[in-house]
Structure 1
Amino acid sequence: MPIYEYKCEACEHIFEKLVLKSDETVVCPMCDSMKTTKLMSSAAFIGGSSGGSSGVSCSSGGASGFS
């Protein structure tokens, strides 16, 4: 059961919703409007950029904190 992020078109409130079915109607918790839009997750944009860092990096030296 994925959690999606939505934006209400009526009051512009951004909220998360646990979606049980793909055709489920999502209602804004602030104003009860059914005019909501699913937002794109930032995780959907991994890779595909030209230049810059595209992920998390770790240092290659030093103490790891494990003994």
Structure 2
Amino acid sequence: MPIYEFQCNACGHRFDRLQKLSDPDPSTCPSCGAPQVQRQLSAPQFRLAGGGWYETDFKKDGDKKRNLAGDGATSKPAESAPAPAPAPAPSTSSGSSD
């Protein structure tokens, strides 16, 4: 079951609630009792990491597996490139031609 985040528009109280997709959202704030509760958009609490999902993860062993995340899904250490040479400082000449 997903965890949803809610906020009361009257008092600003924020709270989380574990509920089914089919459950109705709470209508009153548990802190002040005002009927001004609104669901908030929030980031998921997990991250999928690794080589990615394979198209044939649940197919027969003889089938070829193909990475659905693409070629860039595998994480490789970054290659270090040589640092560029610093740019020459602009010359300031004190001579003036009149």
- When normalised by structure 2's length, the TM-score is 0.38
Number of residue pairs the alignment of both structures matches: 47
1:7-22 maps to which residues of 2 (within 5 A)? 7-20=7-20, 22=22
Change (3 A) 1:20 1:33: farther
Give the structure with higher Rg (CA): 2
Instruction: Give SS of 1:42's match.
Output: coil
Higher RCO (CA-CA < 8 Å; seq separation 6+): 1
Distance in 2, Cα, partners of 1:34 & 1:22:
20
State the Cα RMSD in Å: 2.5
For structure 1, which runs of at least 5 residues remain unmatched after alignment?
47-59, 61-67
Distance in 2, Cα, partners of 1:30 & 1:19:
19
The structure with the largest strand share of the pair is: 1
Percent identical: 38
Distance in 1, Cα, partners of 2:19 & 2:36:
16
Q: Which amino acid aligns with 2:40?
A: L
For structure 2, which runs of at least 5 residues remain unmatched after alignment?
48-76, 78-98
- When normalised by structure 1's length, the TM-score is 0.51
